[in-house]
Structure 1
Amino acid sequence: MKTSLIQKYNVPGPRYTSYPTVPYWNEANFTEEKWVQSLQKSFAESNSENGISLYIHLPFCESMCTFCGCNKRITKNHSVEETYIKAVLKEWSLYCKVLPEKPIIKEIHLGGGTPTFFSSDNLENLINGIFSLAKKADNHEFSFEGHPNNTTYEQLQKLYNLGFRRVSFGVQDYAEKVQKAIHRIQPFHNVAKVTFWAKEIGYTSIGHDLIFGLPFQTLKDVIDTVEKTNSLKPDRLAFYSYAHVPWIKGNGQRGFNDEDLPKDAEKRELYETGKLMLSQNGYHEIGMDHFALQSDSLHKASENKKLHRNFMGYSASKTQVMIGLGVSSISDSWYSFAQNTKTLEEYYQLLEEDKLPVVKGHILNEEDLIIRKHILNLTCEFETTWTSESLYFDEISSVLEDLREIENDNLIVIEGNKITITEAGKPFVRNICMAFDLRLKRKSPETSLFSMTV
C-alpha cells in the first residue's frame, strides 16, 4: 500500500458502532420518556419475530491495562460482585415493567471490564435472574469476553450449561515488552489453555482479539503473534488498530510515550502483514477489523448479507432492540439511543430510587435513519445503494463529490446508484463512512474526539 495513501487518509474518525456517533447526539431533544416510548414501539414491532439483544456491562478488573478505553473499576475486592448483579437485575426488572410483553432474548453479550472477574456462581445468578423475566429464543446466540489469566474451566462450563456458545479472549500481542508496556502480562500458555478448554466443552465459536499499533510493537512481534494464533485456530478474530485516546481516558492510556507507538506506514505494515497471514490460514475478512473461518456463523452471515453491527460489534443475527444493562451501557431501539451513567455510585443511587439509570441519548430523525442504513451497509457489506426511496437523501450528490478522490485512488467504485468498496479500500472503511456522516461534516470537532482511522 502506498505510503501517500496512508498519510492522506490517516485522520481522526469514528469507529461507527452507531450513527450518529455519541459526540453528535442531540441530548437537548432527548428525554427518558421519549426513550421509553421509542423502545416500546420498536419492541412491539420486533420482539415476537426476532427477539431482542442484551448487552451487560461488567466493569470490574483486578488490574489496569493501559491500552484499554473501556469503562472499568479497578479492584481486587470481589465482595462487589453480588451488589452489582443485584443492581443489574433491578435495572432489568424496571425495563420489563415498561415492555408490553415478556421479552424473547436472542442475543446476550457479557462485556467489560472483565466478565470473568465474577465467580461462576454469580454469573449463573445473573443469567438465571435475567430469564426469570424473559424467554430464551430458539436460535439464541450468547457470548462473553474472557480474560485468559482468570477464566476458569468452571466458568466456561457453567456458562455453556446456561446456553453460551461463543467466547472471545483478549490476546492483544504476545511480545513480553509490549505486554509490559500495556500492563497486560499474559503468557501464550494461558491463552492456549482456555482456548482448548472451550473447545473441549463444546463452544462453537471461539474468538481472539488482537491489536496492532501497540507501543514498542514491531513487525516481528505481529508475525509471532499471528503464528501463535494460527496454531490455536480460533473460529474468528478481531484485528484492531490500537485507539490512542488519552484525552478521553486520562492517565489510563499514558503508561508509555507517544513516540513509542508505531505510526503511519510502519503501523499499516503491521496490519497488512497480519491480514495476509490470516488470509493464508483460512481467515476471511468479513467486516471492519474482523476475520472468520468459513465454518463460523459470522462468515456465513457475511456471505448471506445478514451481518449486523451495533455497540456489541459485529453479530451474525440482527435484532431491532438492544438493551444495555449496567454502568455506562448503551441501548439501541433503532429509533433512538440511550446511555447509562458512567459512575457506579450514581448507577446504584438511581436504581435505589426506582429510576432507569439513563442519563443521555439521542432520538434519530428521518435523515439519521437513512444515513445509519448506508453506514451499516458499508461496514457490513462493503457496499451501499440508493436506488430505493428509503435510502435516498438530498445531499447524496455532495457525498459523491466528497468521494471522488477516494474513487480516484481506487478505494471504491461508483456505478450508477451504487458504491462498492474495493479490496484496497477495505482498510479505509471509516474514511468512506465519514463522507456519509452529515452531522460530522456540518460541525467538525474543535477538540480531539476520535482515534486515527489508519
Structure 2
Amino acid sequence: MHSYTSNFEYQFIDMCKSLVNKYNVAGPRYTSYPTVPYWNIDTFSQKKWELSLKQSFNETNTIEGISLYIHLPFCESLCTFCGCHKRITKRHELELPYIKALLKEWSLYRKIMGTKPKIKELHLGGGTPTFFSVENLKFLIDELLITSQLAENYEFSFEGHPNNTTESHLQTLFDLGFRRVSFGVQDYNLKVQKAINRVQPYENVKSVTDLARKIGYTSVGHDIIFGLPFQSEDDVIHTIKQTEALQPDRIAFYSYAHVPWIKGNGQRGFKDEDLPKAEDKRQQYETGKALLQQVGYTEIGMDHFALPHDSLYTSRQNNTLHRNFMGYTASKTQVMIGLGVSSIGDSWYGFAQNVKSIEEYYHLLDENILPVYRGHILNTEDLKIRKHILNLMCHFETSWREEELQFPELPEVLIKLKELEMDGLLEFTDRALIVNEKGKPFIRNISMAFDLLLQRKRPESSLFSMTI
C-alpha cells in the first residue's frame, strides 16, 4: 500500500467497496433541474423563453444583475477528455465573424430586456478562449461594456490554455476588468497527457500562473481531473504535489466523465480497459482530497476546493454559494444569458439552449432570430425540486419546513432517502436532512432521490456519466 495511506487513511477505508459498487450508477451532475433529457421541448417556444426572461430580468436586474456566459468554441487540437462543444481548426480568420455574431445575439437579448442590463458575472468559456487574439477579445468586451452597466463587486473570469495564454492576453483582459482565470492542468504524467492529447509541461503552467499573479489577478484556478486513462493514484499525488507548489487560489478536481456515446470519437482515443476501475477512481479522489485539505484547501460543494481568502470559500461560509451551467459561482444571479453556439441560458423560470452548428447559428442571427433550438419552462413542481437540489449541491442540506418547498410526492422521496440514511450517508433532523462527510462523495445519488422526473422515466439510453 502507498506510504501516504498511513498518514491520511484517505477516508476511503471507511467507505467500503460495497457502497461504491452500490451507488456507482449513471446520474446527472445537476447543473440544472430538470436535467436536459427531461426538458419538455414540445411545449417550449422562443416566445415563452422570452417572456420568462423578461419576467425574471424585471424582478432582479436592478438588485442582482445578470450573469453572462460566452462560449468561444474554437480549439487548435482535440483534447480527448473534453465533453464540451468545440470546433477544431487552425484558421484564426474565423475569430472576428464569430465575435460579430456574438454581438448580434447580445443586441437581440438587449431588445428583449428593454433596459440596460447590469452585469454581475461574465465568463469566457470554450473551446479555448485564448485561441482568440488579444485584439478580438478586447473588441468583444469593449462592445459588451458599452451597452451595459456593471454591478457592484462584479466578477469577470476566463478559461486559459497554459500553452497559448500570453502575457498580452492576461494584461489586456486584466485591464478590461478580469480578475479571475482558470487554467486546465488535468494531470502532469506525460503518458496520461498523450492519451488525452493534452501535452503541456509543468513549466508552462507555472509560467502563466506566475504571470497572472504578477499582473494582479486575485483568483488563479487550476483544473485537475481524476479517473483519466492510464492514470494511477501516484499520478494524482504527483499532480497535486506539483499544484501545491503553485498554490492556486481554487482548484476544480473533476471526475472524468466517460461518455463517448454522446461526444463521438473524440473520447475514443483510448480503450475502456485503460480507465481506472470505479473503486480505484474513487480512491484517487479521496487521496487527492486528503492531500488538498492537508495543505489548506477546503472542499466547496462537489469537486471544488479553495483557499480561505478565495471568494468561493467566502461564499460557502456565508451560504451564498450558487450552482448553474457555469458550475459553482460565488454569488447568485437569477438570470444567466448564454451567448454563442451550444450556450445555455437560465431565466430561473426557464432554460434555453442555442444551436450547436456554427453555420446554423450564423443563419438564424442573419434572420434576426434568437438561435435557440430547445429548452424548458419550469412548472411549480420543477421549481420546488430545483430548490432542494440546489440546496444539496451547494450546502449539503435541505429542509421542507417552508410550504413552498413541499410537494405531494415528498413522503415517497423521504422513504427513498431512508436507505441512504441507513448506509450512513445523511442524517435527518426536524423536517430537514444534512449530508455528512461520508455522504458528500455520493451527493449526486442523494440529489437523485429528489429527481421525480428521473424516477418516473429513465432515459432509454444513458445520457449521464457514472456518479463515482
Place the TM-score, normalised by the shorter chain, in its bin.
over 0.9
Cα deviation digits, residues 82-104 of structure 1 (max 9, x gap) = 01000000000011011121000
Partner of 1:418: 432
Partner of 2:193: 179
Matched, 1:110 2:128: no
Partner of 1:368: 382
For residue 350 of structure 1, the aligned residue among 341, 361, 364 is 364
Identity of aligned pairs, percent? 67
Q: CA deviation at 1:385?
A: 0.4
State whether residues 36 and 98 of structure 1, in contact with CA within 8 Å, keep that contact through their aligned partners in structure 2. Answer: yes
Partner of 2:328: 314
Partner of 1:281: 295
Matched, 1:394 2:408: yes
Partner of 2:256: 242
Task: Give the secondary-structure state (helix, strand or coil) at the position aligned to 1:374.
Answer: helix
For residue 334 of structure 1, the aligned residue among 348, 362, 378 is 348
Partner of 1:453: 467
Q: Which runs of 4+ in 1 moved over 3 A?
A: none
Pairing 1:98-247 to 2, within 5 Å after superposition: 98-247=112-261
For residue 69 of structure 1, the aligned residue among 83, 96, 101 is 83
Partners in 2 of 1:375 and 1:148 — Cα distance?
34
State whether residues 44 and 100 of structure 1, in contact with CA within 8 Å, keep that contact through their aligned partners in structure 2. Answer: no
Task: Give the secondary-structure state (helix, strand or coil) at the position aligned to 2:159.
Answer: strand
Cα deviation digits, residues 237-262 of structure 1 (max 9, x gap) = 11011000000000000000000000
Partners in 2 of 1:88 and 1:140 — Cα distance?
21
Partners in 2 of 1:174 and 1:145 — Cα distance?
19
For residue 264 of structure 1, the aligned residue among 278, 284, 291 is 278
Cα deviation digits, residues 33-52 of structure 1 (max 9, x gap) = 00000000000000000100
Task: Give the secondary-structure state (helix, strand or coil) at the position aligned to 1:93.
Answer: helix
Matched, 1:377 2:368: no
Matched, 1:10 2:24: yes
Partners in 1 of 2:278 and 2:44 — Cα distance?
39
Task: Give the secondary-structure state (helix, strand or coil) at the position aligned to 1:42.
Answer: helix
Partners in 2 of 1:138 and 1:275 — Cα distance?
34
State the AA in 2 paired with 1:438: L
Cα deviation digits, residues 223-274 of structure 1 (max 9, x gap) = 0000001110000011011000000000000000000000111111100000
Q: CA deviation at 1:416?
A: 2.3
State whether residues 105 and 136 of structure 1, in contact with CA within 8 Å, keep that contact through their aligned partners in structure 2. Answer: yes
Task: Give the secondary-structure state (helix, strand or coil) at the position aligned to 1:339.
Answer: strand
Task: Give the secondary-structure state (helix, strand or coil) at the position aligned to 1:323.
Answer: strand
Cα deviation digits, residues 109-150 of structure 1 (max 9, x gap) = 000000000011111101011112111122100100000000
Partners in 2 of 1:325 and 1:395 — Cα distance?
37
State whether residues 331 and 337 of structure 1, in contact with CA within 8 Å, keep that contact through their aligned partners in structure 2. Answer: yes
Root-mean-square deviation (CA, aligned residues, Å) is 0.6
State the AA in 1 paired with 2:305: F
State the AA in 2 paired with 1:44: N
Structure 1, unmatched stretches of 5+, are: none
Partners in 2 of 1:300 and 1:393 — Cα distance?
32
TM-score (norm 2): 0.96
Partners in 2 of 1:348 and 1:126 — Cα distance?
17
Q: CA deviation at 1:182?
A: 0.2
Q: CA deviation at 1:424?
A: 0.7
Structure 2, unmatched stretches of 5+, are: 1-14
Q: CA deviation at 1:390?
A: 1.1
Cα deviation digits, residues 177-219 of structure 1 (max 9, x gap) = 0000000001000000000001011111111000000000001
Partners in 2 of 1:281 and 1:317 — Cα distance?
26
State the AA in 2 paired with 1:226: I
Matched residue pairs, number? 454
Partners in 2 of 1:9 and 1:90 — Cα distance?
46
Partners in 2 of 1:98 and 1:214 — Cα distance?
43
Partners in 2 of 1:138 and 1:127 — Cα distance?
18
For residue 100 of structure 2, the aligned residue among 86, 89, 113 is 86
Partners in 2 of 1:395 and 1:119 — Cα distance?
53
Pairing 1:18-97 to 2, within 5 Å after superposition: 18-97=32-111
Q: CA deviation at 1:404?
A: 1.2
Partners in 1 of 2:373 and 2:278 — Cα distance?
38
State the AA in 2 paired with 1:316: A
Cα deviation digits, residues 147-185 of structure 1 (max 9, x gap) = 000000000011011110000000000000000000000
State the AA in 1 paired with 2:421: E
Partners in 2 of 1:293 and 1:26 — Cα distance?
40
State the AA in 1 paired with 2:78: M
